[in-house]
Amino acid sequence: MIGRLLWVARCCRPDILFATCLLARYTSCYSNAHITAIKRIYRYLNSTEKQGLTFDGNMEWNITAYSDADYASQFDCKSISGSLTTLGGASIMFQSKKQSAVSISTMEAETYGAANTVQDVLWLDQFLDVMNVSAIGIPHIMIDNQALIMHLDNPTHLSRAKHIDIRYHFVRDYYK
């Protein structure tokens, strides 16, 4: 059941990716609560069967990426990063991934997520160049963490966040 959900999530329904990846961690030691959650996802898919990934050829080819992180939500206190990248309004890249290191603040978790999202956008931009396709305008990265946005806008307040320096500067270089 999880394998099918993962396939659907990766191919055409990024809206179930986070929940499906979370449930996939318990395939070898699942309980009734996990089965109930899986059934809930199937009911959700059934009630939203008209939703999916569409690409409208009339939209301008601009790149917009969204980044978010679920801070320390796992039993090992590792955060989960998620991103969604659109081209012309259509979702073309998305991921939900457990971070490899424990973040000690929400801003750090969001910075890791934003750095991964910027890497995706840079790859997409280079891919479009190779294909001789030009995106319109500057790619936009949407971040919802106010502390990170404040630090990106005003880097003089970074003294308490030196432990995330490299990823922060990677995002900041792109943010400019």
CATH number of the domain bearing residue 113: 3.30.420.10
Structurally, how many domains does the chain consist of? 2
pTM reported for the whole predicted model: 0.74
Range of the domain at 24: 2-47
Long-range contact list for 53-57, CB < 8 A, 24+ apart?
A: 53/12, 53/13, 53/14, 53/90, 53/91, 54/90, 55/88, 55/90, 56/88, 56/89, 56/90, 57/88
Same domain, 34 and 80: no
pLDDT tens for 81-114 read 999 999 888 888 888 888 888 888 888 889 889 9
Per-residue pLDDT band for 63 (boundaries 50, 70, 90) equals very high
Same domain, 137 and 72: yes
